[in-house]
Chain A
Amino acid sequence: MRPGSGQASTGPTLVWVYVAHLALQDFRSYESAEIALDPGISAFLGPNGQGKTNLVEAVGYVALHGSHRVSTDAPLVRHGAPRAIVRAGVVRDERKALIELEINPGRANRARLNRSPVPRPREVLGMLRTVLFAPEDLVLVKGDPGERRRFLDELLTVRAPRFAGVRSDYDRVLKQRNALLKSAAQHRRAPGPEVLSTLDVWDTHLARTGAELLGARLELVAALGPLVAKAYAALAPGRAADLEYRASVSLPELSTDRAQLAEALLAGMAEARKNELERGVSLVGPHRDELLLKLGDLPARGYASHGESWSFALALRLASYELLRADGDDPVLILDDVFAELDTGRRNRLAELVAPAEQVLITAAVPEDVPEQLSGATYEVASGEVTRVR
């Protein structure tokens, strides 16, 4: 049985991916847990604080090597345990793969694929793709620009794991360059030639890795924009939603040529140099850019109502899902406690949009929160015990 397989009538042939098996050891509140899952819809029900979100967070971790709730790994490990282990049996085009991640806070994580260790955990990224909707998504609309940059970079990494490397190279260059600027700023007198010539070197490297990241983000926003507009219109008819990428430097018109972008970044750094030396931080580059979310002519941040902000956040996730499907993968959808926040109209429209996915994992406090269109397997979660009831 293959729920939703009739939906893929147009576009590329989809690769069906779903999680068939999830085992946790010392992850969050779970000392150990094992769950068998089917394709289609699975709902995890139970009162608050029983560990529903922890389950879907673990699935998300397998896909992204990060949590949607916290930025460090330490809270993921059960209090008092040295490490957490997440095992996921992923069925990909009818072949089963076992992904195992060992989460070591403060040290490198380790990964195994089909019981053999891989040299870098990064190599199992891309085996499972997920799109996760959660109450935390509201910060995408209402929060700092950093949240929206993270959203773009995470999506880049899901589509092309190489970007995990680009991102970490960029962060490293930025750290080195900031350290240099900071030490120059502390000396108060005009920086000597050796500082300036070293700075030139870091400028070149920042421009090169920065252009790579910037170009990829621009291409992503161009692809995502129309999908966000469409998803928003489907969820909340009214003002039109749109995306605009605002870079910290003036960019060549409609070009994502990496060499041209690097030129633009170098020119921006040359212009900002005096200011950067005074303040001791890098003021130019993708780490200072903003993804502007617009409703009509106004920015969503500060102008949108609570309901509109929620719909925009959901539209961003739905658009990510559509984009990944267009790439030929059918990501697992995770809806973590999202229905409680929505009115009946939006609830039903969201349910219709997600129902065709190969696998949908839902958490909710009460069964009434789950729309009828999404009835399927049901699990009860109570004080760290997961039982299938239907």
Chain B
Amino acid sequence: MYEGVVQNLIDELGRLPGVGPKSAQRIAFHLLAADPADVTRLTEALREVKDKVRFCSVCGNVAEAEQCRICRDARRDTHVICVVEEPKDVVAIEKTREFRGRYHVLGGAISPIEGVGPDDLRIRELMQRLADGEVTELILATDPNLEGEATATYLARLVKPMGLTVTRLASGLPVGGDLEYADEVTLGRAFEGRRLLDV
């Protein structure tokens, strides 16, 4: 244990995801030795992120205004919505530059163990967005794990009466990989989702 304030800093850092006690200690001592200007910049960034960043009123993505950059962008396709779990998923899909529609961030996935039900996710907001009939395709891009699959099934059933096209991201083999290195679950999924080869 260290003197009061140093230990406080270590404790706070240790509460961050992915930071264990050893890393927390290392970061704390790095900050102690760092140039005061650098530390000021960090505290400023932390304060600003809490003050300025909020969640987009339309899609739930992180935003600095009432609406996020993507929802404000008039060039985006308004007929397609891609549903993801977290804002970081939006960033991942944006990097592909393949998708020109808009997003809807649920804020998690259905998981009764953690007490997360449909009411705790931004599903009501999604239904409101779909109500006017402008959206024709819903892409379900929740994580390919059990909870993500359950959430996708739930949404697909919920919107079924609305008659839109509902698609799920494909899961299967990584591009550029070797077949032999795929684990058997992935390979099994890829078999299930095999497609006709048009020649």
Give the total of A residues in contact with B, Cβ under 8 Å.
Answer: 25
Contact residues of B with A, CB < 8 Å?
Answer: 110-113, 115, 117-119, 146-147, 149-150, 153-154, 157-158, 183-185, 188
List residues 141-185 of chain A with CB under 8 A from any CB of chain B.
161-162, 165, 169, 172-173, 175-177, 179-180, 183
Contact partner of A205 (CB less than 8 A), chosen from B111, B112, B149, is: B149
**In the complex with contacts A162-B184, A162-B188, A204-B115 CB distance below 8 A:** no
Cβ-closest chain A residue relative to B185? A165
**In the complex with contacts A120-B183, A183-B112, A198-B149 CB distance below 8 A:** no
Contact residues of A with B, CB < 8 Å?
Answer: 119-120, 122-123, 161-162, 165, 169, 172-173, 175-177, 179-180, 183, 194-195, 197-198, 200-202, 204-205
B111 touches A201 (CB 8 A): no
**In the complex with contacts A173-B146, A176-B150, A198-B157 CB distance below 8 A:** no
Residues of A within 8 A of B117 (CB): 180, 194-195, 198
Contact partner of A198 (CB less than 8 A), chosen from B115, B146, B154, B188, is: B154
A198 touches B184 (CB 8 A): no
Residues of B within 8 A of A198 (CB): 110, 112, 117-118, 150, 154
Min CB–CB distance A250 → chain B (angstroms): 26
A176 touches B157 (CB 8 A): no
Q: CA of A172 to CA of B118 in the docked complex: distance in angstroms?
A: 19
A169 touches B146 (CB 8 A): yes
Main secondary structure of the interface of B (DSSP, over half): helix
**In the complex with contacts A119-B183, A197-B154, A201-B110, A176-B147 CB distance below 8 A:** yes
**In the complex with contacts A162-B184, A205-B149, A200-B112 CB distance below 8 A:** no
Cβ-closest chain B residue relative to A183? B112
Cβ-closest chain B residue relative to A164? B184
A-B contacts besides A194-B118, A197-B158, A198-B150, 8 pairs, CB < 8 Å: A123-B183, A161-B184, A175-B113, A176-B147, A197-B154, A198-B117, A200-B157, A205-B153
Q: CA of A355 to CA of B158 in the docked complex: distance in angstroms?
A: 62
B157 touches A205 (CB 8 A): no
Contact partner of A177 (CB less than 8 A), chosen from B112, B153, B154, is: B112
Q: CA of A175 to CA of B147 in the docked complex: distance in angstroms?
A: 12
Q: CA of A123 to CA of B186 in the docked complex: distance in angstroms?
A: 13
Cβ-closest chain A residue relative to B155? A201
Cβ-closest chain B residue relative to A178? B112
B157 touches A197 (CB 8 A): yes
Residues of A within 8 A of B185 (CB): 162, 165
Cβ-closest chain A residue relative to B156? A201
Most buried by B among A119, A200, A201: A201
Residues of A within 8 A of B149 (CB): 205
Closest 7 CB pairs of A and B: A179-B112, A180-B112, A179-B113, A162-B184, A201-B154, A201-B153, A165-B185
Residues of B within 8 A of A202 (CB): 112, 150
26 contacts between A and B (CB under 8 A): A119-B183, A122-B183, A165-B185, A173-B146, A175-B113, A176-B111, A176-B113, A176-B147, A179-B112, A179-B115, A180-B112, A180-B117, A183-B112, A183-B115, A194-B118, A194-B119, A195-B117, A197-B118, A197-B157, A197-B158, A198-B112, A198-B150, A198-B154, A201-B157, A204-B153, A205-B153
